[in-house]
Structure 1
Amino acid sequence: MKKILITGGAGFIGSNLCEYFIGKGHHVTCLDNFSTGFHHNIDHLKSNPNFKLIEGDIRDIGTCNMAAEGQDYILHQAALGSVPRSINDPITSNDVNVGGFLNMLVAARDANVKRFVYAASSSTYGDSESLPKVEEVIGKPLSPYAITKYVNELYADVFSKTYGIETIGLRYFNVFGRRQNPEGAYAAVIPKFVIQLMNHESPVINGTGDYSRDFTYIDNVIQMNERAMSTKNPEAVNTVYNTAVGDRTTLNLLLEYLKENLSAFDSKIKEIHTIHGPNRIGDIPHSLASIEKAKELLGYKPSHDIKAGLKDAVTWYWENLR
């Protein structure tokens, strides 16, 4: 049994990680300030004796030190996501994503944790036009958010070399699935589209809909975190990995898939028309990951492609978000 600290553990990805590792019999500590996470994401875990909740902020070094004490591993998910949010408020995004990240690295170092696995981002590829995205080839960041996530990678690399901490960064590519929040100005595109379609509202696509993404189901992300945490391969640590499927889907095709799946519950959804708006500032036109490095060094094998993931996700959305 491992002792695992999951920061941002009440959020979308973090709560799924908490649930998974509790189910595996590990001791899990969730650290969250509930700025974007929710108690209802982890309420079903609170009665488990192997689960502990610390309500606190990673911007406070004392809280980070307390949470890291006695932990074997840290899965660092806490961050302020969203490119538009970072454009509207770059200072807070930097404070959380850079300052908070550094606090957690220092806490991990001082607590002698075995490994620090952290959520990196595909936004790090910036203006690089090469496809598929290979870990060693990046461009210039296109948003404050992208800068913060790249700085995380630089700090992790320096801490590995300077202090001997084992770190692994996971560059997430457009993660979706159960418990992803559909509300608010910075909601992710899939749950946002689902809610609009279920309400018989026309979804709004930014641009022509030809932009494409490597949409990645939550179970693939859980697998990558587990493999990154558990690998015994010395060549697999102190580096970064794409966390994706290795396939891309346009926004237009994504909407067709969503309408097809939701029409099984409500046939009227199939007839809903799409509205096209202007492109968003800071958006990358196309995103497609190479997952060869993760396959080779971590033994990663995605369990869900876009169609399988959407089928499971839409069923969950229909049962829980109506």
Structure 2
Amino acid sequence: MKVVVTGGAGFIGSNLAEELSKKHQVIVLDDLSTGREINLKGLDVEFIKGSITDLSLVNRVFSGVDYVFHEAALPSVQRSVENPVATNEVNIGGTLNVLMAARDQGVKKIMFASSSSVYGDTPTLPKRESMTPAPMSPYAVTKLTGEHYFNVFSSLYGLKMTCLRYFNVFGPRQDPKSQYAAVIPNFITKILNHESPIIHGDGEQTRDFTFIRDVVHANILAMESSSEGIFNIACDRRVSLNVLADQIMEIIGERRELIYDAPRSGDVRDSLADYTLAKEHLNYEPGFTLLQGLEETIQWFRNQ
């Protein structure tokens, strides 16, 4: 089949493109604003440099395409707090373009990368898809808006879709150099460089970390399934950032003193998913523990 991965030069997108390319013809659309072309090195994919904010380009790229994996976005809660307009233009305007082009080009189904951030900081754990969203950042608002757009295009135009709410994805190809780097690549590179990890807050905030290969598998399951809707994709285990840092230091074999900084605006306190719906409808089950994922990720960073 012919598939498109928007944002396919990014962390999640490139891992997804790699797996898809083993069986399908893959086109990657990415403007390289946050993605990196080196992530596609050695992959059997067609790379088109361009933005999802360009509707005419998206229409051309989607021509004759069977499935679309919409991973393109301006990531980072913190980035969205600092520049909500840019986040809105790409994550909402660009997503609308993706939907328009998919509708007009007859795409069979779209898999949309949503986010656990839509739940906000509600104290109820675990997070279930039936809960009322309470976004705390512009980024979270854009992801929730994307879900609403998908539902509308599904009901109005019959466009088939699956929205996957990712919970704290980590793994190889995650960029540690960005000022908005996620916590795991940040911790790993700090410790490998004999530096102390920096934690925003007291470190007792918890996350449900999901290994990239589980996320890739969930996307492929969604493509192959007739089921539609919104599904949590996670590991169903939560860990504090203090414990996370300790586990990473244990694997690397180096102890460093943790540095604590002020909490960041828009960050939720605790995150834990119930992935029952994904299990029932997509046959999704996480295949990697946090420890297994950390070991593979640390080895990848060492090899860089």
TM above 0.5, yes or no, is yes
Q: 8 Å contact 1:73–1:229 — kept in the other structure?
A: yes
Residue 120 of structure 1: aligned partner: 114
Residue 266 of structure 1: aligned partner: none
Letter in 2 for 1:250: S
Residue 6 of structure 1: aligned partner: 5
In 2, Cα distance between equivalents of 1:22 and 1:115: 18
Residue 173 of structure 2: aligned partner: 179
Letter in 1 for 2:139: Y
In 1, Cα distance between equivalents of 2:167 and 2:289: 13
1:176-230 residue CA offsets vs partner (Å, 9 max, x unmatched): 0000000121011110111111111111111110000000000100110001011
1:280-305 residue CA offsets vs partner (Å, 9 max, x unmatched): 11110000000111111111111101
Aligned match for 2:258, one of 246, 270, 274:
274
Letter in 2 for 1:214: D
Residue 28 of structure 1: aligned partner: 26
Aligned match for 1:62, one of 53, 56, 63:
56
Residue 288 of structure 1: aligned partner: 272
In 1, Cα distance between equivalents of 2:195 and 2:203: 17
Aligned match for 1:250, one of 240, 244, 255:
240
- Mapped pair 1:19 → 2:3: no
Q: 8 Å contact 1:117–1:168 — kept in the other structure?
A: yes
Q: 8 Å contact 2:191–2:197 — kept in the other structure?
A: yes
Aligned match for 1:42, one of 13, 37, 40:
40
Q: TM-score, structure 1 length as denominator?
A: 0.93
Q: 8 Å contact 1:173–1:215 — kept in the other structure?
A: yes
- Mapped pair 1:301 → 2:272: no
Aligned match for 1:100, one of 94, 97, 108:
94
Q: Which moved more, 1:79-88 or 1:305-314?
A: 305-314
SS in 2 for 1:34: coil
Aligned match for 1:201, one of 195, 205, 210:
195
In 2, Cα distance between equivalents of 1:126 and 1:287: 9
Letter in 2 for 1:317: F
In 1, Cα distance between equivalents of 2:134 and 2:234: 21
SS in 1 for 2:147: helix
Q: 8 Å contact 1:214–1:289 — kept in the other structure?
A: yes
Runs of 4+ in 1 over 2 A off after TM superposition: none
SS in 1 for 2:219: helix
In 2, Cα distance between equivalents of 1:143 and 1:33: 24
SS in 1 for 2:143: helix
In 2, Cα distance between equivalents of 1:262 and 1:138: 40
Q: 8 Å contact 2:121–2:269 — kept in the other structure?
A: no
Residue 208 of structure 2: aligned partner: 214
Q: 8 Å contact 2:121–2:270 — kept in the other structure?
A: no
In 1, Cα distance between equivalents of 2:233 and 2:134: 20
Task: Please report the RMSD computed on the Cα atoms of aligned residues, expressed in angstroms.
Answer: 0.8
Q: 8 Å contact 2:121–2:134 — kept in the other structure?
A: yes
In 2, Cα distance between equivalents of 1:128 and 1:116: 29
SS in 1 for 2:271: coil
Aligned match for 2:73, one of 57, 60, 79:
79
Task: Calculate percent identity across the aligned residue pairs.
Answer: 45
Letter in 2 for 1:305: T
Q: TM-score, structure 2 length as denominator?
A: 0.99
In 1, Cα distance between equivalents of 2:3 and 2:252: 37
Q: 8 Å contact 1:128–1:138 — kept in the other structure?
A: no
Q: 8 Å contact 1:121–1:171 — kept in the other structure?
A: yes
In 2, Cα distance between equivalents of 1:305 and 1:63: 40
- TM-aligned CA deviation for residue 139 of structure 1: 3.4
Unmatched 5+ stretches in structure 1? 264-268
In 2, Cα distance between equivalents of 1:106 and 1:33: 19
Give the count of matched residue pairs. Answer: 304
Unmatched 5+ stretches in structure 2? none
SS in 2 for 1:118: strand
